[in-house]
A and B are shown apart, each in its own frame.
Chain A
Amino acid sequence: AQSVAQPEDQVNVAEGNPLTVKCTYSVSGNPYLFWYVQYPNRGLQFLLKYITGDNLVKGSYGFEAEFNKSQTSFHLKKPSALVSDSALYFCAVISRGGFKTIFGAGTRLFVKA
């Protein structure tokens, strides 16, 4: 079965420190990979996506993600965390040619001042 795993329910970092939110997937072929962010009582907002090409993808608000095909991972990173980055982050995957997006369970990021 196809799946997306976000192994950490919560990630805690201090402001100014680098952050990583992990995502691994089990989807056949070469899927498209996404990260979305959800702030309290809001819908999801797009951060970045991997379609093809360079394994390091840069997105909104200084976030980037590294695609690793051999490890089937797509970890979200930011060099210096801000308190305002505190939110719920979702990894999502969709097969090429498919119509059904699979989401991870989400990782809550807490950045402490």
Chain B
Amino acid sequence: NAGVTQTPKFQVLKTGQSMTLQCAQDMNHEYMSWYRQDPGMGLRLIHYSVGAGITDQGEVPNGYNVSRSTTEDFPLRLLSAAPSQTSVYFCASSPIPSGSRETQYFGPGTRLLVL
């Protein structure tokens, strides 16, 4: 299994541009999530999904959209990039949607720089 994969690894955007960060998992996990990591702030949840067709907002959803058309894929869309969205983005998945005693499996991250 490849686990959780993310593309691209690194991206530079200009303010106002849009882009999609890709995330895929091959473990048939129902739960998937997106985090951003900023220095001194740990990881903050952007959006999450408990299954295909079901998404919800996390702690910092503004400026981001998600969709979940398949179990495997959970793309994150930046609608109009802003310098405040410069960050490292991590996608994660776990095997069950409820309660989550389950461990999350993280992708390698996407480093985004918005100029």
Give chain A's interface residues, CB within 8 Å of chain B. Answer: 4, 6, 9, 32, 34, 36, 41-46, 49, 51, 90, 92, 94, 96-106
Contact = CB atoms under 8 A, between A and B. Distances in A.
Pick the 5 closest A-B CB pairs, nearest first. A43-B106, A103-B42, A103-B43, A105-B42, A44-B106
Given A43-B90, A103-B43, A97 B98 contact: yes
A90 B43 contact: yes
The number of chain B residues touching the other chain, given as a range, is: 20 to 34
B24 interface: no
Given A42-B108, A43-B107, A44-B90, A49 B43 contact: no
8 contacts: A42-B108, A44-B43, A44-B90, A46-B103, A94-B100, A99-B98, A104-B42, A106-B42
A45 B44 contact: no
B40 interface: yes
Contacts of B97: 99
Interface in B66-95: 90, 92
A105 B56 CA distance: 23
Contacts of B50: 99
Interface of B: 4, 31, 33, 35, 40-45, 48, 50, 56, 58-59, 90, 92, 97-101, 103-109
A60 B79 CA distance: 40
B12 to A, nearest CB: 17
A100 B45 contact: yes
A103 B103 CA distance: 14
Contact of B106 (A41, A45, A100): A45
B98 A101 contact: no
Given A43-B107, A43-B109, A103 B44 contact: yes
Nearest to A44: B106
Contact of B103 (A34, A43, A96, A97): A34
B48 A99 contact: yes
